[in-house]
Amino acid sequence: MARPKIAVVLGTRPEAVKLAPVLLALRRNRGADVRVVLTGQHESLVPPVLSFFGLRADEDLRSMRAGQTPGEAAGRILERLDPWLRRERPGRVVVQGDTVSALAAAQAAFFAGIPVAHVEAGLRTFDFRDPFPEEACRTLISKIADLHFAPTPGASANLRAEGVPARGIRVVGNPVLDALEFARSRPRPAPPPPAPSVGDVILFTCHRRENFGAPMLRVLGALRRIARRHPETPVVFPVHPNPEVSGPARLLAGEPGIVLVSPLSYPVLTRLLERARLVMTDSGGLQEESSWLGRPVVILREKTERPELVEAGGAVLAGTDPDRIEAEAERILSDPRVRSRMARPRRLFGDARSGPRIARYLVGGH
């Protein structure tokens, strides 16, 4: 009997990180013929992640163009993925999350009559403009997919409220925790200079589209004040290459207590996260990883699709108001009681065994 053919389509570094445990489990399972297809959305960032996990791509659509809009990227992915799907005829397409790559791949599969499985399904802020375009992408994928891998009971409830049949939903946790534990079990290099190689740090990331412009400047202003008040705990800021981030970040160059570094590899980032006294971020994945490790989080967004961590007391939703950001960071850094309450490992987003669970559903159907 021929093994079912499964196409796993991904384009960004977070997709590669979260799908790597699924791919590893599928490879161990040997119950399916798996093809990994890159869209090229993060052309230079994805191959090193796959290599770290001992994986490689079978097809690269090379759809990336400098300065492209989300619409241009989606159109190019559709144009290049459609003939590949019609030629290879996989029995299922797997996508992850809320990227343009994920939505375009789901659309291409729909047009080709191929069922879609969605990893990290059901996350919602209920506002199509925040985050943009991610909220729309993941909601539209839920209209196309027939198999929904929800990370939490809350995400499952969101899907059911939207009319997704319960028989197509599986609560499996988030495979980002599998990836984190994979990284922690292996030797990892120290962060490169000028980042400090030992000691506590404040890990800061900010890259989402809705924070571009004035919100970014407000957030960076708060960061400058926090760094000045806590010179004993350096801020490490891996700067996203998008000019909307790297341009404003240059205003902090030479600022005492703030270390600007190029984007870090996944293993280096996880090692730095383990040393974080505080995480300040607008990233979703970092919230999940911080929760697992017990690192307090100040979320630099107005809305979150991961309310579980805020409700459990491991994070505060500070938005982009500089006074609120500074006040919340100060509470965590200066009040031992606050820090003790927040700095507890929490199992909100899974158990680091999501990859094998998802693989079994993909191959066995139950």
Catalytic status, residue 134: yes
Catalytic status, residue 207: yes
- From 15, 42, 76, 120, active-site residue: 120
Instruction: Quote the distance between the C-alpha of residue 303 and its chain's center.
Output: 16
53 φ, ψ (degrees, to nearest 5)? -90, 5
- From 209, 229, 324, 331, active-site residue: 209
- From 240, 324, 339, 360, active-site residue: 240
Catalytic status, residue 209: yes
Catalytic status, residue 366: no
- From 42, 207, 301, 357, active-site residue: 207
CA-to-CA distance for 272 and 275, rounded, in angstroms? Answer: 5
Contact residues for 33 (Cβ-Cβ < 8 A; gap 6+):
2, 3, 4, 5, 6
Q: Is 296 left (phi over 0), alpha (psi -120 to 50) or beta?
A: beta
- Encoded tokens for 310: 């805020």
- From 134, 178, 282, 326, active-site residue: 134
- 70-88 b/e with 16+ CB inside 10 Å = b? beebbebbbebbbebbeeb
CA dihedral for 174, 179, 184, 185, sign (positive or negative): positive
Catalytic status, residue 305: no
- Strand order of the sheet with strand 297-299? 258-261, 235-238, 201-205, 276-281, 297-299, 315-317
Burial of 106 (0-12, 13-18, 19+ CB in 10 A): buried
Determine what percent of the chain falls in helix, strand and coil, rounding each to the nearest 5. Answer: 45, 15, 40
Residue 75: enclosing H or E segment and its boundaries?
A: helix 70-88
Report helix, strand or coil for 235.
strand
CA-based nearest residue to 276, from 237, 325, 246: 237
Burial of 201 (0-12, 13-18, 19+ CB in 10 A): buried
Catalytic status, residue 240: yes
- From 13, 76, 92, 98, active-site residue: 98
List the catalytic residues: 98, 120, 134, 207, 209, 240
